[in-house]
Each structure stands twice: as structure tokens, then as C-alpha cells.
């Protein structure tokens, strides 16, 4: 770049860029400042590298190096140091669908794809048609899913819930829990903030009672105590009982998360809504909730993550969820192999990690998106 | 007169059911009616069902003989004991496993929180990977891994893993030495108590001296020295001897020392590792919440590095760390009920499981179990409220 100038003391060409200080660039500087900045740090780094050099080859050998990718169970028994992926390949359909009839696998598959098609645009902040999307997901989708999964109408063969299992059951429990606990949480949170003393007390009692006990006792209660409290001869499906337990339990947790959002909302919003002459429900639905819920999206997603993880507890009351299906898949002697248990659990870890980690990344993304105003 | 009437307009006439106050009473009345009707429906169903099954309601069953044994117990229990004893064993086991896990989880959590903030790139990233992987899989899955895939497949008794001939690990459990104290050991315990009192007195004196003269006194080192010297002197003078009973292979099993069954070990490891990640995140958030300005202000006041940490940074970080960490402890206690899945005899497993199946007293037993956890929760929130009131920021 040159500058036309009449002044002799003005440079006409740009001075050459001087190189950055040598000691503050490149790999050497990065290593010095991040790994070897002091004696203590150097010792820590060396110890960590030794630890990694020990553990990474073990992990690699188990997952890839010594693992059996093809063959029979006999090959697995011959390789006791590696994962037995043959076992996963052979039992994958059981781990994913449980005892669901093979000819009907298209039904859970359709429900799964439909669910993804509805959830993904719901999670994308910029996708249009949020309201119809929410209605489709919260109202239409559950009905379609139940019809497809259980069948018995429209010529679909009936599949009792005892035959549901594996990942499919885990996802079904998660979706029911998410869809059900959300409205319960909103109602309980609104009730807790209500001016009416009796409703407020009832909501506080409900929330605190459910939050104080472990989910297992709730599931035990649903499986052994609930039958005593419904009219004789009237039975509720075992899976539905677990779903009710999880939904109410997480409804109470959701209520506390949403209450955080309601409390974070400035008083002026409530007063402005009242000044416009909106009644309670109008101001709540159009003014308060949209803002309050937006504040706590990360918290809501966090509660959903715990819910997804806690659906695994239904295996204690005898439902065949992903973990229980993996335990049951290798129970017979034909699948015996020294690394069968580890391989099965690795599969479960991978599935839960993908589910929960992507949700937690999403929560982080929303948090950053919502925080822009406060960033310095 | 005219201006007054203009100022006070008569309230608009509205139908009584549009009056918000009356509506409030109406809604609450309906709510109470609904709750009472629902409760009446539940209870009458229960009465009919219990009568149909020939059962009664009451807590008299607590004094009946349970008739089954429990593998892991810290209070006296035998086959002839009552259901109430089962309840006590379960409760004590729950508390025992929770306290041990809480101690380990807290220590590990603080390490993790600090490691994630480390300037060392490797340490910070390994801690991050560990935290993300561990907290994104269900606790139950981790317990199954520790129990079924690690501890249960340990070698049989004869080929136990051996550490320095003192600790042994096999499929039946972890064995280690336990100390035996003789009757003169009491004197050492008294000496420890006395030395702690002395150390506290020394600290008070040092604080007063600092405030009056401004002279520092090496409090921590002196305190350690007092406790060590007094205890060692008491140990030598009293002539007591501590012996360790080391487990030894006798027949088909190890005898002597302490035994931790695999159920217990798996539950402690699982609970501690899982909850440590959440505590670690609390610690990290707490440290990051102390603004840099606080550190700079402390430096400009001329505080030394350790005083800056002790008096400025840590108290403010603790205010952020302690409330969520307390709820983490509570959730650890609640999660100890997952021991039921790996047959560790804690409250839910032995009482809401075995005892319920045997006695058939579903309502009473589930209610008692829930009441126990409710009590823990109430105690925790009570302590938390006291703490919050004490540390709350007093603004202007």
C-alpha cells in the first residue's frame, strides 16, 4: 500500500511487519506455558503422560486391537483381552427392541424417525412454526406413537407392553417423561407462586414430598402400593405405572426449575400485564411463561438429562429397559465369554453418552445464546 | 363536595362471580373438595382391597420375626430378629455407605474442580473428559459395571489379588487389616482430645496477639506440632501397643481383618465417582464466581498469597459451592438406594424389598421408607436455611 503525499517526512510504503517475539510463538511457547510452566507443572505433566501411556493402549487393545469384529462366539472366547463385538452384532436387535416381534420392527422405527423429525426443528431456535410444532409434538405425536407401538387398531397386530424392551423402551419412557413432566411442572410452579394460600400450600407439599424421596421408592410404590389404591379388578399396565411414577416425580423437579425462571422475571412484567387488563391466564400464557421458560431452557434440558439417565431405574422393578436388556441378552450359556459383560456395558455407555452429551451440549449452546446480553 | 365525589368513583358493579376475591375462595374450595374426594377414594379403595385380601393395616408386624439373614450388618441382627431390626439394619447400612461415599466424593470432587481450572493443559482436559463421560451415563449402569464386570469377575479365593500381603481382593470381597486396641489406648484418645483443646487455645491466643501487636504466629505448624507431640508422648508413656490383625487364608476363605463385600465396594466406588463429578462442577463454578477484582483488591491491600486465598477467595467461593454441594450430598443419600439393584442390603433393598415381599405390608413399609428419606431431606434443608441466613450478603 502506498500513500500519495507531498510531505517528505511521511513514509510512502508501509514498514515491514516485525516478527512476533520469538519466545511467544509456536509449539515451544505453547508447551512451555501450558505444560511446563513450573517445576510442579512439569512433574504433573510427566505423571499424566505416564498414566496415559499406560491406560490408552489398554483401552485401544480392548476396543480395537484385540477385539473380535467378525466370527463366532468361539473366537471371542479365544480373545479374552478384547471386546466381543460379535456378541453385540448378534444381540443388537434384542438390545434395541426387546421381545418386540421382528416383523413389526418398522413400527418403532417409524415412531423414532417421526420423533426426530418433530424434536429437531423444535430445538432449533430459528426454525419456524414453533407453536404448531409444539402442539404436534406434545399432543398429536404421543397418540400416533401409542397407536403405532401398541397396535390393536387399523389392522395393526396388538403388541402388549410386556414385549417392549431395550433402547426402544428407554426412549419411550424418556419421551413420556419429558412430555408429561413439563405441563405438570408448569402447573405446580404456577401454583407455588399463587396468591391463593391453600393452592400454594398444596403445591409446596406436593413438590417437596416428591423431591424428598428417591425415584426407586416411587417406582416401588407404583409397582406394589398402587394396585392397593385402585378399585379391585382394575389393573394398570406395569409399564404405564412406571411411566406415571417417573412423570410425577420429574414433574416436581421440573416445577422447581421453572419456578427459578418465574422468580427471575422482573415484577414490572407482571404489573405491565395487569395494567393492560389481562386476566391471570392471559398474562401467564402470553407474557409470563414465554419469558420465564426462555430463561430456564438450560435448566429444563438438564432436568431432561437426569430423566433420561433415571429411566434406567425401571430395570429394578423388572422392566426390560436398555440396561436390563443388555443384562438379559447374554444370560444364556451360548453367549458366555470373558468380556461379554464389559462389551455389553460399553455399548450401553456409548448410547447413553450420545443421548446425554448431545443434550448437555445443546443446553450449553442455549445458555450461551441467551447470555449474549450479559457478556463483557 | 363535588370534587370529593369526583375523586371517589363508586366501584364498578360486577357480578359476584367475577370478583377476584370471591373467585379465589371458589377455586380453593373446589381444590379442597377435589383433594378430599381423591383421598377418600384412595383410602376407601385400600380398605376394600385389604379386606378382600384378608390383610389388616397396622404396625404390629414390626415385632414379628423376620426370619431371613442379612449379609452385611453393623448392628446386632440374626434370623430371629424382628422386622423393626431389619429396618434398623437397613437404615444404618444406608447411612454408613452414604457417609463413606460422601467423604470420598467430596475429596475427589474438590480435586476435580481444581484440576479443571488448572493451568496445565493436560490435567484440565483429562479432568474435563472424565467429568463429561462419568456424568453422562446412568449411575445404575456404573454400579452394574463395577459390580458385574469388575468386582464379581475377580479371581477365586485361592488366586486372590495380593497387595503387600496385607490387602487381598477376590470375587468374594476386599480384605484388609483392622487395628486392635488394648485397654490402655484410652489414654491416647484422651491425649488427642487434650492436644486439640490446646491447639484451639493457641489459635485464639495467636489471633489476639495479631490483632493487638500485628505480629504473626505460625498457627498451622504449631497446631500440628502440638497434636503430634502430645499424642506421641501419651503413646510412649502409657505403653499401649496397636496391633493389626491381618487377614489370612483359612480353609476356603480369609479370616481376620476387615471384609468389604463386593456389593459394598461397588456401591461406594460408584456413588463416590459419580457424585464427585457434580461436586467438582460446583467447586469449579464457585471458584470462577469470585471476580478477579476481588483478587486484585486483596493484592493491592498487601495481603500475602495464602492470606488472600484464606480470607478473600475461599470464603466467597464457599458461599457459592456449599448450597449446591449440600443438595448433592442429599441426592447421594437418595441414590444409595440403588444398592438394591446390586443386592447391597441398604434400607430399600432389605426393608422395602425383602421385608415387604415377606410380610406383604406394602403401605406401611413404603410409607416408613419414604418417611426416612423425607426426614433426611428436611434436616438438610433446615441446616441449609441456617447456613444461607448466616452467609447471606448484607447489602447496605
Residues B129 and B38 in one domain: no
Predicted local distance difference test score (pLDDT) of residue B8: 63
In a domain, B129, yes or no: yes
**Most confident of the ranges A337-341, B54-58, B335-339:** B335-339
In a domain, B6, yes or no: yes
Which CATH number is B323's domain given? 1.10.3720.10
Residues B288 and B367 in one domain: yes
Residues B295 and B374 in one domain: yes
Least Cα distance to B52 among B40, B44, B60 occurs for B44
Residues B32 and B98 in one domain: no
Say how far apart CA B151 and CA A221 lie, in whole Å: 31
Domain that holds residue B21: 2-52
Distance from CA of B332 to the nearest CA of A (A): 10
Summarize the confidence of residues A211-233 as an average pLDDT. Answer: 84
Length of chain A (residues): 376
In a domain, B323, yes or no: yes
Predicted local distance difference test score (pLDDT) of residue A307: 92
Summarize the confidence of residues B66-88 as an average pLDDT. Answer: 80
Residues B96 and B9 in one domain: no
Distance from CA of B331 to the nearest CA of A (A): 8
Q: Report the number of distinct structural domains present in chain B.
A: 2
Q: What percent of chain B has pLDDT over 70?
A: 90
Summarize the confidence of residues B325-340 as an average pLDDT. Answer: 89
- B47 — contact with chain A (CB < 8 Å)? no
Residues B271 and B364 in one domain: yes
Predicted local distance difference test score (pLDDT) of residue A185: 93
Residues B104 and B13 in one domain: no
- Rounded to 5 degrees, φ, ψ at B103 are -60, -50
Which one has a higher pLDDT value, A339 or B263?
B263
Predicted local distance difference test score (pLDDT) of residue A373: 54
Summarize the confidence of residues A138-161 as an average pLDDT. Answer: 81
Chain A partners within 8 Å of B153 (Cβ): 338, 341
Residues B129 and B13 in one domain: no
Interface of A with B in 273-332 (CB under 8 A): 305, 309-310, 312-313, 315-316, 323, 327
- A364 — contact with chain B (CB < 8 Å)? no
pLDDT tens, B211-226? 888 777 777 888 888 8
Distance from CA of B131 to the nearest CA of A (A): 11
- B121 — contact with chain A (CB < 8 Å)? yes
The minimal CB distance from A228 to the residues B118, B153, B363 is found for: B363
Q: What angle do CA A30, A32, A33 make, to 5 degrees?
A: 70
Asked if ipTM goes beyond 0.85, one says no
In a domain, B232, yes or no: no
Q: Which of A152-156, A180-184, B111-115, B308-312 has the lowest mean pLDDT?
A: A152-156
Residues B320 and B384 in one domain: yes
Contact at 8 Å (CB) between B175 and B247? yes
Residue A1 to residues A4, A5, A15, A19, A41: CA-CA distances in angstroms?
10, 13, 10, 19, 46
Interface test with A, best of B138, B145, B146, B377 (most A CBs within 10 A): B138
Residues B28 and B99 in one domain: no
- B341 — contact with chain A (CB < 8 Å)? yes
Cα nearest neighbour of A305 on chain B = B136
Q: What percent of chain B has pLDDT over 90?
A: 15
CB contact (8 A) between residue A345 and residue B153? no
Contact at 8 Å (CB) between B188 and B234? yes
Residues B87 and B47 in one domain: no
Question: Strands B173-176 and B258-260: what pairing?
Answer: antiparallel
Interface test with B, best of A44, A311, A341, A350 (most B CBs within 10 A): A341
Predicted local distance difference test score (pLDDT) of residue A82: 78
What is the reported pTM?
0.82
In a domain, B332, yes or no: yes
All domains of chain A in start order, with CATH: 85-100+159-369 (1.10.3720.10)
Residue B256 pLDDT grade (very low, low, confident, very high; cuts 50, 70, 90)? low
Chain A partners within 8 Å of B373 (Cβ): 212-214, 217
- Radius of gyration from C-alpha coordinates of chain A: 28
In a domain, B253, yes or no: no
Predicted local distance difference test score (pLDDT) of residue A252: 92
In a domain, B211, yes or no: no
Q: What percent of chain A has pLDDT over 90?
A: 9
| Cell output for A71 | 466370527
Residues B368 and B304 in one domain: yes
**Could you tell me the end-to-end alpha-carbon distance of chain B, in angstroms, rounded to an integer?**
47
Question: Strands B248-250 and B161-163: what pairing?
Answer: unpaired
pLDDT tens, A279-330? 888 898 888 888 888 888 888 888 899 999 999 999 888 888 888 888 888 7
Interface test with A, best of B140, B275, B359, B382 (most A CBs within 10 A): B140
Length of chain B (residues): 396
Cα nearest neighbour of A351 on chain B = B137
Say how far apart CA B327 and CA B322 lie, in whole Å: 9
Amino acid at each position: 500500500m502506498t500513500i500519495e503525499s507531498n510531505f517528505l517526512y511521511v513514509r510512502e510504503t508501509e514498514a515491514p511487519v516485525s516478527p512476533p517475539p520469538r519466545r511467544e510463538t509456536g509449539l515451544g511457547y505453547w508447551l512451555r506455558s501450558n505444560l511446563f510452566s513450573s517445576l510442579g507443572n512439569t512433574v504433573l505433566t510427566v505423571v499424566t503422560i505416564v498414566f496415559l501411556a499406560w491406560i490408552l493402549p489398554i483401552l485401544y487393545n480392548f476396543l480395537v486391537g484385540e477385539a473380535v469384529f467378525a466370527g463366532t462366539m468361539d473366537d471371542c472366547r479365544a480373545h479374552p483381552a478384547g471386546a466381543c463385538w460379535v456378541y453385540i452384532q448378534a444381540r443388537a436387535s434384542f438390545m434395541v427392541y426387546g421381545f418386540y416381534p421382528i416383523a413389526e420392527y418398522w413400527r418403532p422405527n417409524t415412531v423414532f424417525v417421526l420423533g426426530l423429525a418433530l424434536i429437531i426443528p423444535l430445538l432449533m431456535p430459528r426454525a419456524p412454526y414453533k407453536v404448531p410444532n409444539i402442539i404436534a409434538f406434545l399432543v398429536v405425536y404421543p397418540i400416533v406413537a401409542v397407536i403405532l407401538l401398541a397396535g390393536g387398531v387399523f389392522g395393526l397386530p396388538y403388541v402388549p407392553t410386556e414385549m417392549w424392551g431395550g433402547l426402544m423402551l428407554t426412549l419411550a419412557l424418556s419421551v413420556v417423561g419429558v412430555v408429561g413432566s413439563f405441563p405438570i411442572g408448569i402447573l405446580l410452579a404456577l401454583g407455588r407462586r399463587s396468591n391463593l394460600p391453600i393452592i400454594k400450600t398444596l403445591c409446596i407439599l406436593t413438590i417437596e414430598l416428591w423431591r424428598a424421596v428417591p425415584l426407586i421408592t416411587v417406582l416401588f410404590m407404583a409397582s406394589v402400593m398402587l394396585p392397593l389404591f385402585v378399585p379391585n379388578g382394575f389393573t394398570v399396565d406395569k409399564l404405564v405405572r412406571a411411566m406415571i411414577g417417573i412423570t410425577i416425580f420429574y414433574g416436581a423437579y421440573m416445577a422447581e426449575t421453572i419456578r427459578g425462571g418465574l422468580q427471575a422475571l422482573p415484577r414490572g412484567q407482571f404489573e405491565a400485564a395487569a395494567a393492560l387488563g389481562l386476566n391471570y391466564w392471559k398474562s401467564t400464557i402470553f407474557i409470563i411463561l414465554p419469558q420465564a421458560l426462555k430463561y430456564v431452557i438450560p435448566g429444563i434440558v438438564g432436568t431432561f438429562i437426569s430423566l433420561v439417565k433415571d429411566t434406567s431405574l425401571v430395570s429394578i422393578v423388572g422392566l426390560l429397559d436398555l440396561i436390563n436388556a443388555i443384562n438379559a441378552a447374554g444370560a444364556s450359556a451360548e453367549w458366555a465369554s470373558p468380556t461379554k459383560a464389559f462389551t455389553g456395558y460399553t455399548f450401553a455407555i456409548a448410547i447413553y453418552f450420545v443421548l446425554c452429551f448431545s443434550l448437555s451440549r445443546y443446553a450449553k449452546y442455549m445458555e450461551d445464546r441467551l447470555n449474549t446480553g450479559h457478556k463483557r | 363536595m363535588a370534587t370529593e365525589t369526583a375523586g371517589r368513583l363508586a366501584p364498578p358493579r360486577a357480578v359476584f362471580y367475577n370478583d377476584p376475591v370471591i373467585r379465589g375462595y371458589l377455586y380453593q374450595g373446589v381444590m379442597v373438595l377435589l383433594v378430599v374426594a381423591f383421598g377418600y377414594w384412595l383410602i376407601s379403595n385400600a380398605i376394600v382391597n385389604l379386606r378382600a385380601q384378608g390383610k389388616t393395616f397396622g404396625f404390629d408386624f414390626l415385632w414379628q420375626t423376620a426370619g431371613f439373614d442379612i449379609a452385611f450388618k453393623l448392628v446386632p441382627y440374626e434370623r430371629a430378629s424382628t422386622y423393626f431390626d431389619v429396618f434398623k439394619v437397613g437404615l444404618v447400612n444406608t447411612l454408613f455407605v452414604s457417609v463413606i461415599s460422601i467423604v470420598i466424593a467430596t475429596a475427589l470432587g474438590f480435586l476435580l474442580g481444581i484440576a479443571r481450572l488448572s493451568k496445565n493443559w493436560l490435567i484440565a482436559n483429562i479432568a474435563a473428559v472424565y467429568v463429561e463421560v462419568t456424568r453422562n451415563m446412568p449411575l445404575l449402569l456404573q454400579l452394574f459395571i463395577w459390580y458385574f464386570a469388575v468386582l464379581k469377575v475377580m479371581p477365586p479365593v485361592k488366586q486372590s489379588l495380593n497387595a503387600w500381603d496385607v490387602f487381598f481382593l477376590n470375587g468374594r470381597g476386599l480384605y484388609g487389616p483392622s487395628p486392635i486396641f488394648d485397654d490402655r489406648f484410652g489414654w491416647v484418645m484422651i491425649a488427642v482430645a487434650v492436644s486439640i483443646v490446646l491447639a484451639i487455645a493457641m489459635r485464639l491466643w495467636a489471633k489476639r496477639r495479631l490483632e493487638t501487636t500485628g505480629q504473626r504466629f505460625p498457627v498451622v505448624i504449631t497446631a500440628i506440632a502440638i497434636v503430634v507431640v502430645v499424642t506421641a508422648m501419651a503413646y510412649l508413656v502409657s505403653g499401649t501397643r496397636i496391633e493389626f490383625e491381618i487377614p489370612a487364608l483359612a480353609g476356603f476363605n480369609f479370616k481376620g481383618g476387615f471384609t468389604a463385600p463386593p456389593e459394598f465396594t461397588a456401591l461406594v466406588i460408584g456413588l463416590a465417582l459419580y457424585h464427585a463429578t457434580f461436586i467438582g462442577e460446583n467447586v469449579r463454578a464457585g471458584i470462577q464466581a469470585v471476580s478477579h477484582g476481588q483478587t486484585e483488591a486483596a493484592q493491592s491491600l498487601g495481603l500475602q498469597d495464602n492470606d488472600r486465598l484464606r480470607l478473600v477467595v475461599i470464603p466467597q467461593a464457599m458461599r457459592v459451592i456449599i448450597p449446591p454441594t449440600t443438595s448433592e450430598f442429599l441426592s447421594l443419600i437418595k441414590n444409595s438406594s440403588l444398592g438394591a439393584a446390586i443386592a447391597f442390603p441398604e434400607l430399600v433393598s432389605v426393608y422395602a424389598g425383602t421385608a415387604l415381599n415377606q410380610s406383604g405390608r406394602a403401605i406401611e413399609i413404603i410409607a416408613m421408607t419414604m418417611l426416612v428419606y423425607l426426614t433426611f431431606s428436611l434436616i438438610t434443608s433446615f441446616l441449609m436455611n441456617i447456613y444461607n441466613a448466616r452467609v447471606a450478603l448484607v447489602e447496605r
